[in-house]
Amino acid sequence: LSGYFDATTGSLGNTAVLAAIKDFAPHVLFVGMGMPRQELWIADNLAALPPVPILPVGAAFDYEAGVQKAAPRWMGRLGVEWLFRLFADPKRLFTRYCIEPWFLIGPALGDVRAALKRR
Which residue type occupies 93? L
pLDDT over 80 (residue 3): no
Q: What is residue 90's three-state secondary structure?
A: helix
Per DSSP bridges, beta strands 54-56 and 29-31 are parallel
| pLDDT digits 0-9 by tens, 78-106 | 999 999 999 999 998 999 899 999 999 99
CB burial class (10 A; 0-12, 13-18, 19+) of residue 93?
A: middle
| pLDDT digits 0-9 by tens, 29-86 | 999 988 888 999 999 999 999 999 999 998 888 888 888 888 999 999 999 999 999 9
Q: Which residue has the higher pLDDT, 47 or 3?
A: 47
Alpha-carbon Rg for the chain in angstroms: 18
Query: What is the reported pTM?
Result: 0.69
pLDDT recorded at residue 51: 97
